[in-house]
Amino acid sequence: MSDPLLVVEGLNAYYGPSHVLQNVSFSVTEQAVAIIGRNGMGKSTLCAAIMGMTPPRTSGSVRLEGTELIGRASYKIAGLGIGYVPQGRRLFPSLSVEEHLRMVAGRNGGPWNMRRVYELFPRLAERKRNGGAQLSGGEQQMLAIGRALLTNPKLLIMDEPSEGLAPTVIEMLVETFGKFEEEGLRMLLVEQNLVVATSLAERQLVMIGGEIAAETTASELAGSVSADISASSLSLTRRTTMSFFVRPLALLPALLVLAACGSSTPSTPDLVFVSTRDGDYALFGVAADGGHERRLTKEKGDPATPKGLFFQTQPAWSPNGKRIAFASRRDGPSHIFVTRPNGTGVRRLTSSARDDDHPAWSPDGRRIAFGREGALFVVPAEGGRARRLGRGFGDAADPAWSPNGKLVAYDYRRPGFSIREIWVMGVNGRNSRQVTRLGAVSAHPSWSPDGRRLAFHSNARGGHYEIYSIGVDGTGLRRETRSAIDTIEPAWSPDGKEIAFSRDGAIWEVDRAGNARQITSAQNDSSPAWRPRGRIAARP
């Protein structure tokens, strides 16, 4: 047997105080390896940890051909020879297929180039001028795989590659992945579809509660008559187009543990956010320590269509923490909806023929401000006629109600100007005034709990976005985050000690001393919103 290409040894990872990965150890040699297990067991966190995308509190060792990866930046790890196909594809909706591929083509020498990707996936060549949001689910996955191949990797890590795809598309991808192995490309596969996992990898690792609980083989999984018991215990997916049998008695103890190890999920999350981890834009909740991530809205959309692109976005908590407002495009234009925190009781509030977005509750919970094609409006929280807030606006967005209910902050681009700035006005729509004068894009205001400051994101220093805060009177500008990656969509915590934000597909928070930590795993998460009077995030 050749020396291992990848060695994971004693790997631990934490989201705040939550110990997500617990002493994980395994290796990848010439055989493909599949990691199987139900949702919430730490599989995606393991992928992110290998790729250098988890919080700083990571210990243990991850070595690629003897080179230590812990502590290295993600792009440097990719440069060493690991290609990554993340769960949910994580494409840019507005970039074309060609632009996605050109971003990575030619960075590492090797056999993979754009011509070969187009030969492998002819459908991408036909759609190379289409944006990421205009592709079907299968086409998006082809693009995500092609993008990873252009790094000319030695190891390809794929997180749930069959998720949300039609059986015919899955069968095509399985055949494609088989060609990779024939060419010597090693694969580490995270998969809930047991047919895909056993078709591509002989070695099967069962993950339970952040640990590798058992190791078996695809041959063993295909040799048992206990298919129904084992499949239901693993919460894995069976495709009716392919038959299989699961697991001999040797693995039954691990399966029984897996079936019994459901997490104690709190009834109400501390943060709600938007994610495409299920293949469509939906609302999810998470505890402040990063645990108990779960989907809140039940209906699913197709991310390949404009309807799916804005399916359920931009959440806002009611002041009593009993309802969440959000924007959703379901039968034409986007409208404002409300739901209970558990995802039930969904009700539509607006019914305009134009797009409504970015809801914001008034402090008394009786009204919701929102944007409508460059103007601001207010609608009763129980539904009714919406009225325009202020006059003369042509490009206003992102309303945020002040804690005392007397002011509304928003971002606005004045006629003849190319940038947006932060403004405030009275709730009667009068006495508007400019707060920021940075000469740069400044947007998405969020009030501090005492109503004295506004957080917002801006590219004031050129290039990427960072989180800033400023006094309502326009003084005391302060830079809250420092990163080389776009950092956007601030949301002040209920106690005013942290600001949540989105960065690189994950939800983070930063305290007043500038210490940042990651809350959610990086699965195209955005638009965080704190639950009022909820449990405050634990500090590291």
User: What is the pLDDT, as a whole number, of residue 521?
Assistant: 78
The torsion of the CA quartet 468, 473, 474, 475, rounded to 10 degrees, works out to -80
3-state secondary structure at position 132: helix
Nearest Cα to Cα of residue 141 among 186, 105, 77, 91: 91
| pLDDT tens column, 350-368 | 988 888 889 999 999 999 9
Is there a single domain that holds both residue 160 and residue 214? Answer: yes
Residue 158 domain-assigned (yes or no): yes
* Domain edge (last residue) among 193, 226, 260: 260
Tell me the C-alpha to C-alpha distance, in Å, between residue 358 and each of 9, 371, 503: 45, 6, 19
Tell me the C-alpha to C-alpha distance, in Å, between residue 118 and each of 145, 171, 449, 471: 12, 19, 52, 52
Sign of CA dihedral 275, 278, 279, 280: negative
Residue 472 domain-assigned (yes or no): no
Is there a single domain that holds both residue 100 and residue 192? Answer: no
Outline where 82-193 has alpha helix (H): 97-102, 114-120, 122-126, 137-149, 167-182
Is there a single domain that holds both residue 161 and residue 145? Answer: no
Residue given tokens 């020879």 in the structure block: 81
* Domain edge (last residue) among 212, 229, 260: 260
Residues with Cβ < 8 Å from 366, sequence gap 6 or more?
380, 381
Is there a single domain that holds both residue 98 and residue 241? Answer: no
User: What is the pLDDT, as a whole number, of residue 157?
Assistant: 93
User: What is the pLDDT, as a whole number, of residue 2?
Assistant: 67
Residue 65 domain-assigned (yes or no): yes
As a whole number of angstroms, the distance between CA 4 and CA 46 comes to: 18
Is there a single domain that holds both residue 16 and residue 59? Answer: yes
Range of the domain at 247: 6-81+154-260
Is there a single domain that holds both residue 122 and residue 225? Answer: no
Nearest Cα to Cα of residue 270 among 461, 425, 491: 491
List the structure tokens of 531. 């639950």
As a whole number of angstroms, the distance between CA 183 and CA 369 comes to: 57
Nearest Cα to Cα of residue 488 among 468, 462, 470, 466: 466
CB-CB contact of 472 with 511 (8 Å): no
Residues with Cβ < 8 Å from 413, sequence gap 6 or more?
394, 395, 419, 420, 421
Indicate the length of the chain as a whole number. 540
* Domain edge (last residue) among 101, 121, 151: 151
CB-CB contact of 360 with 368 (8 Å): yes
Nearest Cα to Cα of residue 189 among 31, 1, 75: 31
As a whole number of angstroms, the distance between CA 295 and CA 274 comes to: 9
Is there a single domain that holds both residue 185 and residue 241? Answer: yes
CB-CB contact of 413 with 425 (8 Å): no
CB-based burial, 319-341: b 16+ in 10 Å, e otherwise: bebebbbbbbbbeebbbbbbbeb
Nearest Cα to Cα of residue 82 among 8, 176, 24: 8
Taking the whole predicted model, whether its pTM rises above 0.85 is answered as: no
As a whole number of angstroms, the distance between CA 213 and CA 149 comes to: 31
Residue 359 domain-assigned (yes or no): no
List the structure tokens of 143. 């693009």
CB-CB contact of 25 with 197 (8 Å): no
How many domains, the chain?
2
Residue 97 domain-assigned (yes or no): yes
CB-CB contact of 496 with 449 (8 Å): yes
Nearest Cα to Cα of residue 316 among 301, 328, 308: 328
User: What is the pLDDT, as a whole number, of residue 536?
Assistant: 38
Residue 19 domain-assigned (yes or no): yes
Query: Residues of the chain whose pLDDT is less than 50?
Result: 224-266, 302-310, 535-540
**CATH code at 32?**
3.40.50.300
Is there a single domain that holds both residue 171 and residue 229? Answer: yes
3-state secondary structure at position 270: coil
Is there a single domain that holds both residue 200 and residue 247? Answer: yes
CB-based burial, 180-189: b 16+ in 10 Å, e otherwise: bbeeebbbbb
Residue 232 domain-assigned (yes or no): yes
As a whole number of angstroms, the distance between CA 395 and CA 233 comes to: 53
Is there a single domain that holds both residue 101 and residue 241? Answer: no
As a whole number of angstroms, the distance between CA 488 and CA 438 comes to: 16
As a whole number of angstroms, the distance between CA 172 and CA 198 comes to: 15
Is there a single domain that holds both residue 127 and residue 251? Answer: no
| Residue 217: strand pairing partners | 203
Residue given tokens 């007043």 in the structure block: 512
Is there a single domain that holds both residue 166 and residue 248? Answer: yes
As a whole number of angstroms, the distance between CA 81 and CA 151 comes to: 7
Residue 54 domain-assigned (yes or no): yes
Strand 58-64 and strand 211-217: pairing? unpaired
| pLDDT tens column, 156-165 | 999 888 877 7
